[in-house]
Amino acid sequence: MYTILSKEMLTPNICRMRVKAPRLASSAKPGQFLIVRADEKGERVPLTISDYDAAEGSVTIVTQKIGASSADIISFEAGEAFADVVGPLGLPSEFLKKSPEELAAQHYIFIAGGLGTAPVYPQVKWLHEHGAKVDVIIGARTKDLLIYTEELGAVCDNLYICTDDGSCGFHGVGTAQLEALVAAGEKFTQAVAIGPMIMMKFSTLTCRKLGIPIVVSLNTLMVDGTGMCGACRVTVGGKTRFACVEGPEFDGYEVDFDEAMRRQTQYKAEEAAENEHHVCRIGRGK
């Protein structure tokens, strides 16, 4: 059983859970993701791994209430258990292969948007522990939607917070903050953007302009997550790739974001109908 060890609401709609999954916890690496199926009738929902603790046998997931399936996941309380948690899925981040010398020569800039801030954490933590210089830009619509500021602050060199409404930190989007930093003389060798598809698209456009290589982590549709269904097809460098097994991280310059955004909407009509007719199953099986 995949018991929920702890649960806390980071914002009114974003929830952090520590879940017992010993095999997964001992093999998870930065950049990988997992799939949760809340109960027998639930969907298989791909989620990023926000942290993992092999000793405790637990993984941390951060979920935002968007549709019926994410609402179901969030409805679970500590002490209850999910039907299924499987992973780690996808390839670990490329930088895990780098030597200590290569890492010491790097200056990373992470651009995190909304929920995408959570999976940035294990990557930044790993790089920081392995001697790379890492700065992080966290972007959110408003102050109340910012997550992981303390956690990231503790493991990066410089943390930049931006809000669209100026309620906290830099007044503007993450890409504007990046341009301001470069203009002020910062020389980043590698950018990593994780967040909504549209934010990763604009981060890529900005990085291209600034001449910084960028890696993006694609949150595509998926069923099995093991290469079986092909729902996660993305065009990268003119070739069709499966984000679940060949990703989720790709060279941002090569990704066809417009196609990826369009493909994300494939089940919108069906999901809208589901949300409308969704019978809340909170309290099931108790």
**Residues found near other proteins in the complex (CB under 8 A):** 23-24, 27, 37, 41-44, 68-69, 72, 83-89, 223-224, 226-231, 233-235, 240, 245, 259, 262-263, 265-267, 269-271, 274, 277-278
In the complex, least distance from residue 178 CB atom to other proteins, rounded to whole angstroms: 30
In the complex, least distance from residue 269 CB atom to other proteins, rounded to whole angstroms: 8
Task: Please identify, using beta-carbon distances, which residue of 23 and 209 lies nearer to other proteins.
Answer: 23
In the complex, least distance from residue 173 CB atom to other proteins, rounded to whole angstroms: 26
Task: Please identify, using beta-carbon distances, which residue of 6 and 226 lies nearer to other proteins.
Answer: 226
Residue in 255, 113, 257 with CA at minimum distance from that of residue 176:
113
Residue in 276, 147, 139 with CA at minimum distance from that of residue 199:
139
Task: Please identify, using beta-carbon distances, which residue of 105 and 280 lies nearer to other proteins.
Answer: 280
Q: For residues 268 and 172, give the distance between their C-alpha atoms in angstroms, rounded to a whole number.
A: 30
- Torsional class of 163: left (φ above 0), alpha (ψ -120 to 50), beta (otherwise): beta
Q: At what angle do helices 257-264 and 197-210 cross, to 10 degrees?
A: 170
Task: Please identify, using beta-carbon distances, which residue of 100 and 227 lies nearer to other proteins.
Answer: 227
In the complex, least distance from residue 41 CB atom to other proteins, rounded to whole angstroms: 5
Residues in CB range of 55: below 8 A, 6 or more apart: none
In the complex, least distance from residue 284 CB atom to other proteins, rounded to whole angstroms: 11
In the complex, least distance from residue 250 CB atom to other proteins, rounded to whole angstroms: 15
Phi, psi dihedral angles at 41 (to 5 degrees): -100, 5
Task: Please identify, using beta-carbon distances, which residue of 33 and 121 lies nearer to other proteins.
Answer: 33
Q: For residues 236 and 257, give the distance between their C-alpha atoms in angstroms, rounded to a whole number.
A: 9
Q: For residues 224 and 228, give the distance between their C-alpha atoms in angstroms, rounded to a whole number.
A: 6
Task: Please identify, using beta-carbon distances, which residue of 150 and 270 lies nearer to other proteins.
Answer: 270
Residue in 109, 68, 85 with CA at minimum distance from that of residue 3:
85
- β-bridge partners, 228: none
Compute the half-sphere exposure of residue 237: CA atoms within 13 Å on the CB side of its CA.
Answer: 4
Task: Please identify, using beta-carbon distances, which residue of 34 and 194 lies nearer to other proteins.
Answer: 34
Task: Please identify, using beta-carbon distances, which residue of 178 and 255 lies nearer to other proteins.
Answer: 255
Q: Whats the size of the chain, residue-wise?
A: 286
> Coil, helix or strand for 73?
helix
The DSSP-derived string for 121-158 is HHHHHHHHHTT-EEEEEEEESSGGG--SHHHHHHHSSE
In the complex, least distance from residue 224 CB atom to other proteins, rounded to whole angstroms: 6
Q: For residues 152 and 124, give the distance between their C-alpha atoms in angstroms, rounded to a whole number.
A: 8
Task: Write out the two tokens for 164.
Answer: 């669209």
In the complex, least distance from residue 136 CB atom to other proteins, rounded to whole angstroms: 28
